[in-house]
Structure 1
């Protein structure tokens, strides 16, 4: 146990989260069992350590961070460890990558029932369906999602500012006032292209090649998050990777399921399941016509965020595709985004049509449509700068 305390103290002391994530204030920390999900690379480990540092400091032994990658847990269970930790005065146990431990959900439930004075916060993959696939946790766990950086968070990091987020309703009603407030301090468009290229994943801060790092992360999403958690045999890995590549190089469009099934030599039903796994892993987004959802075929499949599009070779990156991907990704946290028609790009929450406009496009103004305009610093009326939607979280 002492080695775990030493590792915890070292990690907490050397944790330096460059941006304080808003999720820190959204979580009800009084709950006894808290799950934090998120795609690989968005900073879940750092988030746990930042919580420990902020609430407990370095030397408080009532809080302990552990990682299920530790070989110790090959021979010991979570319940056994939690019992010893509590006997030593432990109150908050932070468990990283909980899904690496066999029977983790059953053991977490045992901890919840046996140790009423112990709080457990754990991280897991976005692929995990905490309540649906782990019924023993359904009535006790509170689940939250940690996303990659928003454009607002990226802008704060790059400029040292502390801009706060706005709701979609606030942006629609007061976008001119909000944009002018931001422009009084920085020029967002000076940073927007960098965000589209490499700003979503916090590891762009590391002194390593970002694209190579992202490719490695994408492979881990498929090899670990999909295969391990969904318990898919290794021999099918190449099929899932090929499917993802085909979807990526095709760009945002309606998938030809029959052709994809032929290309990766499997059934249509299996292709649809693989597509769902890729969406759960936050590698792609499925955009449906209004009123439709999985298991129907999506109207459009696009990459989950623009950073992914720049890292897949050879792929011709079209500007409008990048902007559409940005818009869907940033709206996706709190809103439902459906496929549009010839008059608009997307329908948001079943009632709000939006059209994404590239630089220099002459807008034939339709008062019923909201235009998200690239390269605009300040909008007017129903024309809103696209970058401002990056302030939704």
Structure 2
């Protein structure tokens, strides 16, 4: 136990979160069992350590961070370790990568039942279905998702600003005032937006390593660990899943041809649909449906999960329109429903708002309607008017 406290102290003292994540204030920290899910690489470990740093002194033995990658836990279960920590005055146990522990959900249930004064906060993959696939946790676990950086968080980090979160209603009703205020302070917002689309979603852009190579490594880990390990898929099927992802990326944002994909990776249509769902759960792709449809029906469109992925897959040339639509869908998805409509570049948000993503220069030549919200990129001033809203403003939603 002493070795773990020593490691905890060192990690907390050397943790310096580049930006305070909005999720920190959304979680009800009074709950006893809290799960933090998220895409690999979005900063879940830093999030746990930042929580410890904000609420406990580094040498306070009431709080302890442990990582299930430690070989120690191959010979000792979570419940046994947690009970020892609890009996020595422990109050908050932070468990990183909980899925690396065999029977982790049963172990967490034992902790909950036998250590009534212990709070456990654990991280896991976005592929995990905490309640659906782990009935022993139903009714006792509260699950949250940590996403990659929003454009707001990215801009705050690089400019030292403190831009607040805006609701969708705020943006649609007051976008001219909001954009004018921000552009007045930061004239280069459009340049920051372009760099965010390329490399701003994953926090590891701050590391002194090649971003694309790091992202490719992360994408491979998503398939090799998050999908295969958690979904318990045999290793021999890994190449099929990777090839499917690559084919979907090459096809671009459109409806998938399931029969052709099944032929290309030598499997059944049903298996292709399952693999697509796994890729979606891993936050490698987004599946967009027509209103009223959902899995296991074929999606109306498949696109990459976030724009950064489009720049990392060779030899794809990231088309500007596709990048902008990918950004829009991804940033809206946190708190809103997004469906495909029958028109190109048009999406239905929350079943009542039709949004079209367009190039501002091209849109000036199109016939516009008052009922449509035009999310525009390449706006000369970065500021919109009426129902023409600068696309970058939607990056302030979280």
Please state how far the C-alpha of 1:327 moved relative to its aligned partner.
Answer: 0.2
Q: Which structure 2 residue ranges, 5 or more long, are not aligned? A: none
Deviation at 1:59, TM superposition (A): 1.1
Q: How far apart are residue 343 of structure 1 and its match?
A: 6.8
What secondary structure is seen at the aligned counterpart in 2 of 1:312? coil
Residue 375 of structure 1 corresponds to 378
Partner of 1:276: 277
Deviation at 1:337, TM superposition (A): 0.6
- Secondary structure at the counterpart of residue 360 of structure 1: helix
- SS of residue matched to 1:325: helix
What do residues 217-261 of structure 1 show as CA deviations (whole Å, max 9, x unaligned)? 000000000000000000000000000000001110110000000
Q: How many corresponding residue pairs? A: 393
2-structure distance, mates of 1:185, 1:105: 49
**Distance in 2 (alpha carbons) for counterparts of 1:162 and 1:179:** 15
Question: Structure 1 residue 344: deviation in Å?
Answer: 5.7
In 1, Cα distance between equivalents of 2:195 and 2:68: 35
Deviation of residue 57 (structure 1)? 2.2
Q: What does 1:1-393 correspond to in 2, within 5 Å? A: 1-187=1-187, 188-342=189-343, 345-361=346-362, 362=364, 363-376=366-379, 377-393=382-398
TM-score under structure 1 length normalisation = 0.99
SS across alignment from 1:184: helix
Aligned equivalents of 1:343, 1:191: Cα separation in 2: 27
Which digits, 9 at most, give the CA deviation of each residue in 1:310-369, with x for residues without a partner?
A: 000010211100000000000010111111222761111111100101141124220010
8 A contact 1:65–1:93 mirrored in 2: yes
Query: For residues 218 and 392 of structure 1, what CA distance do their matches in structure 2 show?
Result: 26
Once superposed, which parts of structure 1, at least 4 consecutive aligned residues long, lie more than 4 Å away?
Answer: none
Distance 1:89 1:30 in 2: 18
**Structure 1: runs of 5 or more not aligned:** none
RMSD between superposed Cα atoms in Å:
0.8
- C-alpha distance in structure 1 between counterparts of 2:39 and 2:249, whole Å: 18
Between 374-383 and 209-218, the greater mean CA deviation after superposition: 374-383
Aligned-residue offset at 1:12: 0.4
Q: Distance in 1 between matches of 2:293 and 2:186?
A: 41
- Give the Cα–Cα distance (whole angstroms) in 1 for the partners of residues 344 and 288 of structure 2: 17
